[in-house]
Amino acid sequence: MTSKRSLAAKLGVVTGFENPQAALEQYPTPPELAAHVVHLADLHDDVDGRTVLDLGTGTGMLALAAALRGPARVIGVELDRAALTTATENDRRVAASAPVHWIQADATRLPLAIPDPVTVVMNPPFGAQDGNRNADRGFLLTASRVADVSYSVHNAGSREFVEAFAADEGGEVTHAFAADFAIDAQFDHHTEASREIDAEVYRIEWR
């Protein structure tokens, strides 16, 4: 197993959104955060030999991190065709040995059945935009239906919601940890060149 630092370095070639959409909360997952999430998943034997599903993959950061850790296959699901085009280009840059499949679809209405066992990794919308409140709920619901285990990134202060949602859907939060999420200015409402927001990552086992 390569180190978390080495994994983050390999993900440095992954590019972000060319024309990010604020309504979709298209913020690229930092390579350090992606490496941290996937490294944790690997330590729990949730990657090697499994199908890894990245819901709302964007330009592929989490999917490609997983692809570098020996899964049977990786599937990245993304609604935005332009983002998927970039993800495909990033796939070539990373050159992971595991097969990666890119699917254009709504992650909250998954159009495929996936062989077990399935690990979901995702950085869903936080619901910070007007009219997008609780946007991460639909992603968690999809995970509850297809995954044995999921790893998801949420806004700080989400623990009560995530634990209650998981319990309602027959799941259990087994691990939770704080994480820094660096965001570069990319929308008109951004007033700083870059800032870090507090995020939280949850591992959920689904029954």
| Range with the largest mean pLDDT of 87-91, 113-117, 177-181 | 87-91
Average pLDDT over residues 89-112: 95
5, burial (CB in 10 Å: exposed 0-12, middle 13-18, buried 19+): exposed
C-alpha distances out from residue 7 to 63, 74, 157, 192, Å:
13, 16, 28, 28
Tell me if 74 sits within 8 A of 94, measured CB to CB.
Answer: no
Q: Does the pLDDT value for residue 188 go beyond 50?
A: no
Residue found under tokens 């946007």: 135
The length of the chain is: 207
- Tokens found for residue 109: 């209405």
Query: Cis ω on the peptide bond leading into residue 31 (within 30° of 0)?
Result: no
Confidence tier at 127 by pLDDT (50, 70, 90): low
Confidence tier at 81 by pLDDT (50, 70, 90): very high
Q: Supply the pLDDT for residue 77.
A: 98
Average pLDDT over residues 159-185: 90
Q: Supply the pLDDT for residue 83.
A: 94
Give dist(CA 91, CA 134) in Å, integer.
30
- Tokens found for residue 4: 């978390």
Picking from 45-49, 70-74, 180-184, 193-197, which range would have the lowest pLDDT averaged per residue? Answer: 193-197
Q: Which residue has the higher pLDDT, 113 or 84?
A: 84
